[in-house]
Amino acid sequence: MDAAGVEYAARLQALQADKNLYNRLKYFIHDLAVFGKDEGARLRLLQDPTANFYMSSVYFSPEQASALLSFQGREGVTLEQALQSTIARKLQQARDGSTTSFELCTSHDLAPVLQDYFGVSKAVLVEAANKGLYNKFAKEQREEQRKKPGKEQRKKPGKGQKQRNPKE
C-alpha cells in the first residue's frame, strides 16, 4: 500500500472509531439505497430540502456533515468533489444522449459513491439494518417528526364520543 493508501486507511479507521457517527453514516447510506422502496427513508432524506446531498440533521450535526463532505478518499479527492463529479457526469451523459434520465438517483448514483468512500459494503448495510439499531434509529426519527410543531396529529374519538364529520 502506498503512502496515500496508508493515510486513507488511517482516516477511515479514525472515522469508524466514532461508533455513533459511523452508525449514522451507515443509516444514511442505507436510506439512500432504499429511497425508492422505503417511504420512511424517503421522508427522512427529504425532510430538509436545503441539506447538501441529503446530509440533514436527521443523520448528522452540521459539523459532522461538513467533516464527511471534506473527507478525502483514496485518490485525495473530497467526498463533496466526488459527488459533484457524479452529478456533472450524469448531466453530461444526458446531454450526450447516452442516458434519458436527468434525475440523480440516490440508490444508483449517490449511495455507491458513499459506500466506496467509507468502505461500507452492502453486507455491512444489511447487517446494520438487521441488528435492530437501524430500526431503533428509524423509530426515533418517526417520533421526532410527530413532536415537531405544525404536524397536527389526528386524535381518535374517546369512548362515547362521536367521530366528527369533516364536511360539517
Grid cell listed for 41: 427513508
Indicate if the pLDDT at residue 115 is higher than 80: yes
How far, CA to CA in Å, does 19 sit from each of 9, 10, 22? 16, 16, 5
Segment 62-110, tens digit of pLDDT: 999 999 999 999 888 999 999 999 989 888 887 888 776 767 788 888 9
Q: Which residues contact 90 (CB under 8 A, 6 or more apart)?
A: 99, 101, 102, 104, 109
Tracing cell 461538513 back to the chain, one arrives at: 66
HSE, side-chain direction, 13 A CA sphere, residue 49: 0
Q: What is the pTM of this model?
A: 0.80
